[in-house]
Amino acid sequence: MTTILNPEFFATYLVAASIVIAAPGPDSMNTLAIGMARGRREAMAYALGVGIGCLTHTLWAVLGISAIVAASETLFGLVKWVGVAYLLWLGIQSLRERRTLPVADDRAARVQAPIDASTRVLQGALTNALNPKVMLFFMAFLPQFADARLGAVGAQMLVMGLVFAVITAIAYVLLGAGAGGLGERLMQRPSIAQWLNRITGVLFIGLALRLMLAERR
């Protein structure tokens, strides 16, 4: 019976991928912040988007696009600055977007309007996909666990990338659900909800500045 993956290589890959996914990073911080500031639904939707973003990086690695971007300072810079601009825009939106909604005691509180789940999915996918450092990581990470003796290295990388995306989505959905549960309780207090919203905006802007300093090597 033939297999597309080397079982030993794949087992090692699962351990390595799990460690990478569990390590704190921009995507997990965003998921936590959105959960605390906006609740379970938006955080879980964002987490699904991050998983989709991981799939795009897998495709770029398989198709060789990641290698082209890595070799070109211009392309790397283009992807990076688009990502920076998008994160800055999200940060500013988080700081500014709000409307008046009634609260339990019939007073008016300045809190953000709900954001559609599909929008959060798109945000998660774009913030991940527009990070060139993640693109280069996938290009370097996936081939290490492909067995050239089995052939179809591209297919092996696709399977591993799909597994990585699924594990990421599940882990971050659980993270978002936990943070969202706490966030929904905190959002009963308008003043706390407003501060959580500001923290989310500052986090997005901070990540934009961090990405701004990223280099190819």
- One DSSP character per residue, the chain reads ---SS-HHHHHHHHHHHHHHHHS--HHHHHHHHHHHHH-HHHHHHHHHHHHHHHHHHHHHHHHTHHHHHHH-HHHHHHHHHHHHHHHHHHHHHHHH--EEEE-TTS-EEEEPPP--HHHHHHHHHHHHHT-HHHHHHHHHHGGGG--GGGS-HHHHHHHHHHHHHHHHHHHHHHHHHHHHHHHHHHTTSHHHHHHHHHHHHHHHHHHHHHHHT----
Block means of pLDDT (10 residues each) for the chain, 217 residues, are 78 93 88 87 95 93 82 82 84 67 41 76 93 88 88 90 96 92 68 69 80 70
Question: Is residue 159 in a domain?
Answer: yes
* pLDDT given at position 194: 67
208, part of any domain: yes
CB 65 within 8 A of CB 171: no
Which residues, other chains included, contact 73 with Cβ-Cβ below 8 Å and sequence gap of 6+?
A: 216
What pLDDT score was predicted for residue 103?
A: 42
Residue entry with tokens 């990641």: 66
Domain assignment present for residue 20? The answer is no
Residues constituting the chain: 217
pLDDT at res. 153: 86
pLDDT the model gives residue 107: 41
Residue 95 counted as domain residue: yes
Q: 163 lies in which domain range?
A: 27-212
Tell me what pLDDT residue 83 has: 81
Domain assignment present for 14: no
Is residue 9 domain-resident? Answer: no
> What domain count does the chain have?
1
* Residue 3 falls inside a structural domain: no
Look at residue 101 in the predicted model and tell me its pLDDT. Answer: 41
22: in domain: no
